[in-house]
Amino acid sequence: MRYVPSLILALGLTAGPALALAPPPLKNPVEALEERPLAEVQALADKGDPVGMTALGDMLNEGRAGVIDHARALVLLQKAAAAGNTDAIADLGEMSERGWAVPQDYAAAMAQFRKAADLGDAGAMTAIGYLYDQGRGVPRDYAQAMAWYQKAQAVGNDHVASYLALLYDYGHGVPQDYGKAMVLYRQSADAGNGNGYVGMGIFYAHGRGVPQDAAKAVELYRQGVEMHYPGGAMMMLGMAYADGTGVAKDPAEAVKWYAKASAIGDRMSMYMLGVALEKGQGVEIDLEQSRSWMMRSADLGYANAQLHLGTMYAEGNGVPIDHAASFRWYKAAADMNDRVGQFAAGVGYMGGVGVSTDKAKGMALVRTSAERGYVAAQEMLGRYLMAGQDVAVDKVAALKWFTLAAAGGNAYAPQHVKTIEAGMSADDIAKALAEAKTFKAAD
């Protein structure tokens, strides 16, 4: 099982001198086979070889076999798992986690991951850590995440160092420590993991703990593309060319790197390639191809692509308006714990747009989004609490949310603050403002 953190979504890091190219790590049989020609993988799978079936299942799940086919992947992985392949067992857990060809079920995913972890599978141990890290199906618990990542590392998975680095990078469950984060990113890079180079490059690109040096960041990304798991480094090179950061701006070169990363299953690159094709950035506009790449990215669980598709169907951008399809994509993003998706799906439930009306589900999602700091959700929740619409009137809570939304730049919230304060006592106003001042967005 290949569990690799998406460091390109965590824009920030610390440093030291650039690393020399590390030798590639020893790969397990499945990973090694996945780098062979597709025909060779297919031939082994056709013979019922567990490694071949697992490798082909991985490739079908991630679009590295020319097509995404979760249903076929499920059959292959079930056969390989029945034959005792631990990678296949863990991969079935990932399918349950993501809802690929089976209903999304974090409990089922955890059960499969634990089964594989008990058999010594380091990828499954990493996956368990990630569920705790992200709070998927279990309460978010950074201590448990750290423990499982360390278990994976103890059985020889140095790639997991990038996960550990992120905990120190953002101070999740541990004091924020850029120095320790950099050491761990280096360790990952020394293991031949492209994400280690991405982590260090991001630190230099944004000057976190080191002098800002965009050219050095690009140098590290270039090293990363030669390593195992190079998709993130390819993606970052594409972004550098798109923005002209550390290199001369070249949208066409950006598209080339997005395409390379997309071809090996990098879901964020698929999204960026879709955006480029939609807007004609470095490539001719091709809405059909754009939608195809967006779909592939969304199907792989990338929330931004899911949100993009949700808006596309809601507004009829290049497709017929389809509120049911729009809601499904917004809900998919919400299920990935995306706060914008939670708000959009909540609005859908509240208004019965694309789905049967369910005020309780809708309000719960809007509240969750607000508590996670999404300004539009805070403003909407404030209005409902002020009016007593579908919830009990609570002016103190309403003022708190309006105050937070105003601080976040919502255009309507300042007027709401004036309106509601006119009918409140000084004590209640003070209480609401105190609650807003001490508010801390949930993870």
The tens digit of pLDDT for each residue in 362-419 reads 999 999 999 999 999 999 999 999 999 999 999 999 999 999 999 999 999 999 999 9
CA-to-CA distance for 150 and 154, rounded, in angstroms? 6
pLDDT at 55 over 90: yes
**Does residue 353 fall inside a structural domain?**
yes
**Does residue 201 fall inside a structural domain?**
no
CA-to-CA distance for 161 and 343, rounded, in angstroms? 33
pLDDT at 62 over 90: no
Q: What is the mean pLDDT of residues 207-227?
A: 96
**Does residue 398 fall inside a structural domain?**
yes
**Does residue 243 fall inside a structural domain?**
no
**Does residue 166 fall inside a structural domain?**
no
Domain harbouring 332, CATH code: 1.25.40.10
Give me 166's structure tokens. 């992120």
**Does residue 217 fall inside a structural domain?**
no
Total number of domains in the chain: 2
pLDDT at 129 over 90: yes
The tens digit of pLDDT for each residue in 271-308 reads 999 999 999 999 999 999 999 999 999 998 899 999 99
Q: Which domain holds residue 406?
A: 323-437
pLDDT at 2 over 80: no
24: confidence class by pLDDT, cuts 50, 70, 90: very low
Q: Indicate the residue among 158, 181, 209 that finishes a domain.
A: 158
27: confidence class by pLDDT, cuts 50, 70, 90: low
DSSP state of 412: S
**Does residue 299 fall inside a structural domain?**
no
Q: Indicate the residue among 158, 187, 220 that finishes a domain.
A: 158
Torsions phi, psi for 193 (to 5 deg): -95, 120
What pLDDT score does 20 carry? 31
Q: Indicate the residue among 143, 158, 173 that finishes a domain.
A: 158
Using CA of residue 334, residue 340, residue 346, residue 349, what is the dihedral sign? Answer: negative
Task: Kindly give, in sequence order, each residue whose CB lies less than 8 Å from that of residue 304, ignoring residues fewer than 6 positions away.
Answer: 268, 271, 297
The tens digit of pLDDT for each residue in 305-348 reads 999 999 999 999 989 999 999 999 999 999 988 999 999 999 99
What pLDDT score does 14 carry? 30
What pLDDT score does 3 carry? 52
**Does residue 193 fall inside a structural domain?**
no
pTM of the model: 0.82
What pLDDT score does 183 carry? 95
77 contacts 71 by C-beta, under 8 angstroms: no
